[in-house]
Chains A and B, each alone.
Chain A
Amino acid sequence: MNRAVDILSVVMLAAAGAAFCLGVLALGEQRDITALYWLLVGGLSLKAAVDMLRPSRSA
């Protein structure tokens, strides 16, 4: 199960990179709201990826 969460974390990291790419692309195509949307998705994906791998406080 831990391995599955690890893989999900990496998938979220890759998704964040892709979302940021789409955000910047949308900015270039004059779709500012879409750009903001993708940048927000990227930011949240990045946070989820890191939160899933955070060490426990007791360790």
Chain B
Amino acid sequence: MGALASVVMSATTFAGSAQFAAVSVLSAAGSVGAAATAAILLNARYVPIGISVASVLRGGPLRRLLEAQLVVDESWAFARRRDGSFDRGVLIGAGLVLYTCWLVGTAAGALGGEALGDPDSLGLDGAFAALFLALLVLQVNSRRGLAAALLGGTIAFVLVPFTAPGVPIIAATAGCLVGWRAR
């Protein structure tokens, strides 16, 4: 994958896991369809995530569309308050910082990545689970939340061996059904 394509992809598909998925399918000689499907399945989680932040975004449809692009797992998790509402400043601010770093990082990696060696040797792959666990601990503040987390984690664990990457994460959103409040 060329440097320009990498940077264009980071600018338009601001979501690392989907980018890695698409590139890994392509580099394993997978088809265009398989690569695109894997990446879009991974990003399907942004539909419910987008719904959850809809009320704090502002302006007309175009501005809302652009603001929504700044939402990634990390900015979304940082912006979520313990009561379940979202801090608009943190969401947009963290999103802008992450977006800038992501573009600069992609360009640097595309042009000089060979010098860095294998990122796995730095343990970066082990850091992502830690980040999400730390954010999860902040989010679980009720028995219902704990139930949703256990259900979501279990669904993902069971599905990983049987489905394409991305599917376990989408399926795990079913864990949120414990939040249904009957009237």
A and B: interacting chains: no
Enumerate chain A interface residues (CB-CB to B < 8 A): none
